[in-house]
Chains A and B, each alone.
Chain A
Amino acid sequence: MLEKPDGADLLACAREVLKSRILAAVRGDQQRELLMVINAMGIAQREMQFRAQATAQAAHQPSLEDASLTRLAHAIRQGQVDPGQPERAAVWQQLRAMTRQRLLVSNPKALDSNH
């Protein structure tokens, strides 16, 4: 019931104005700051998209904010997923999948080239 265009859309528009209409007109410190603004808005946009998708597909997305993450972190620290442990490969894949999602929001370019 909130007004459209929604926050994600507004963000996209505002970011495009900054990028295509304002960026060319500034130099030096202001240019650096504007690039950071554009970067931050891109992250915010992608996070909003991600959350929208996650709500739609809740059952299939690995949870990023679960207590199970804390348990996993603890198990890793205690050596329960060390070489020789049966779940090691699966846990590595899980961590990689989670990190990939985090990267898709924070810095998708990092996934582009041959990493």
Chain B
Amino acid sequence: MNSELQQALARHIAAQWNARRVRIEQLVPLSGGAIQENWRLVLEVDGGPHHGTVLCVLRCDSATAGVASSHSRAQEFALLATAFNAGVRVPEPLLLCTDPQVLGRPFFLMKCVPGTAAAHVIVKDMRYAPDRAELAHALGRELATIHSIVPPVPALNFLPLPQGNPALLKVQQHRAYLDTLPNAYPALEWGLRWLERHAPRNVQLALCHGDYRTGNYMVDEHGLSGILDWEFAQWGNPLQDLGWFCARCWRFGQHELEAGGIGLREHFYAGYEEVSPTPIDRAEVAYWEVMAHVTWAVIALQQAQRHCSGQERSLLLALTGHVVPELEWQILNMTEHG
């Protein structure tokens, strides 16, 4: 980010925060996805309610972003704010800017949260959140708090209300995507037909994080420090998030630690049930773990297709397609009978 942009940014923040002046002491790019950029900022704020040193993260669309199927920055900010106000442990949202005059693209600031979100590090390095039972418990509590947010929420009126059974809608969406591909995926079709036949009747809607898994929360040496990555949040069946978190495909090699590769399922459930007014239907979570494998397979196919179609040539996208056979293997094993 060149100095001209930095100055525009500092002036904008000062105006928004009623500060005499804002100085950018530090501006460091963080590793982010292909679609968004994250920058770590140290701000010196002179005057106003944010007077002092502010450690924050700036999140904006990358300059070369294509069409994203996830939420806009403004929508992500609204989700963060809603979650924050509901008591979910998320980075505190500080400022949203949709004026393209400042940085050329929408962005928001949120408070820095300590630690790391790197999944492969977290599952192996016990210096992060050394009390793993407590970590699983905390992740359960946070998820139940997210699920306490139910429609209607005016700030979230950009989220579509699913018409009908959320599980059957997902099956439909996945089938529609597979129909756009040149090759057939009979193993995924097997999984989808199983999901269609076993769809839970429960259509209780709540805010689903949409990507609640190890890799999307921060931990430091004390424990859980913040839930991240709200770009896929939707109204849906909350058990979808439980299934995603406990799905075998998201355990980063720690297969015995069924809760996100970091802890025991029962500790995660106990934390959830501490907050949730209704107990977890354990059989239904198993359904959503199958859905998680099928959903991740479809996402992987979408990413591989970006590469194969020439839209974005990338070794990472190309290799992502090659996770599909293992997902199919798990899906077949989970759906052999019934």
- CB-based contact B192/A77 at 8 Å: yes
**Contact check: which of B178, B187, B322 meets A95 at CB < 8 Å?**
B187
Which residues of chain A are within 8 angstroms of B255 by Cβ–Cβ distance?
113
Option from B175, B329, B330 in Cβ contact (under 8 Å) with A100: B329
Q: Are A92 and B332 in contact (CB under 8 A)?
A: yes
Using A73-B186, A77-B175 as known contacts, say yes or no to A43 and B329 having CB atoms under 8 A apart. Answer: no
Q: How far is the CB of A87 from chain B (nearest CB, A)?
A: 12
Report B300 CB to chain A, min CB distance, Å.
11
**What's the least CB distance linking B301 to chain A, in Å?**
13
Residue count of chain A within 8 Å CB distance of chain B: 34
Nearest-CB residue, chain A, relative to B255: A113
Type the 1/0 row for A92-115, where 1 means its CB is closer than 8 Å to any CB of B: 100110111011011100110101
CB-based contact B193/A77 at 8 Å: yes
Name the B residues within 8 Å of A33 (CB-CB): 315
C-alpha gap A76/B171 in the complex (Å): 14
Chain A nearest CB: distance from B31 CB in Å?
Answer: 8
Which residues in A have their C-beta under 8 angstroms from that of B336? 92
Question: Is B328 located at the chain interface by the 8 A CB criterion?
Answer: yes
Q: Is the CB of A43 within 8 A of B332?
A: no
User: Does B183 touch A at the CB level, under 8 Å?
Assistant: yes
Of chain B, the residue at the smallest CB distance from A110 is B326
Interface membership of B319, Cβ < 8 A: yes
Q: Is B232 an interface residue (CB 8 A)?
A: no
Q: Which of B183, B192, B315, B322 meets A106, CB within 8 Å?
A: B322
The residues in B between 236 and 262 inclusive whose CB is less than 8 angstroms from any CB of A are 255
B189 at the A interface (CB under 8 A): yes
Assess A115 versus B319: contact at CB under 8 Å? Given A69-B186, A77-B175: no
Q: Look across to chain B and name the residue whose beta carbon is closest to the beta carbon of A107.
A: B326
The answer for the CA separation of A110 and B197 in the assembled complex, in Å, is 28
Known: A40-B318, A43-B322, A72-B186. Contact between A95 and B338, CB under 8 A?
Answer: no
**A70 is an interface residue with CB less than 8 A from chain B:** yes
User: What does the 1/0 interface line of B110-141 toward A look like (CB < 8 Å)?
Assistant: 00000000000000000000000000000000
Q: Does A82 reach chain B (CB closer than 8 Å)?
A: yes
Given A77-B193, A110-B326: A95 in contact with B332 (beta carbons within 8 A):
yes
Among B186, B190, B325, B332, the most chain A Cβ lie within 10 Å of the Cβ of: B186
Task: Verify if A83 is at the interface (C-beta below 8 Å from B).
Answer: yes
What is the CA–CA distance of A76 and B184 in the complex, to the nearest angstrom?
11
Shortest C-beta distance, B200 to chain A (Å), equals 18
Which residues of A in the span 78-95 have a Cβ within 8 Å of any Cβ on B?
79, 81-83, 91-92, 95
Shortest Cβ-Cβ A-B pairs, 10 listed: A102-B325, A73-B184, A106-B322, A73-B186, A70-B184, A76-B189, A110-B326, A73-B189, A103-B325, A72-B186
Other contacts beyond A107-B322, A113-B255: 11, CB < 8 A: A43-B322, A69-B184, A76-B190, A95-B187, A99-B329, A99-B332, A102-B324, A105-B325, A106-B323, A110-B329, A115-B333
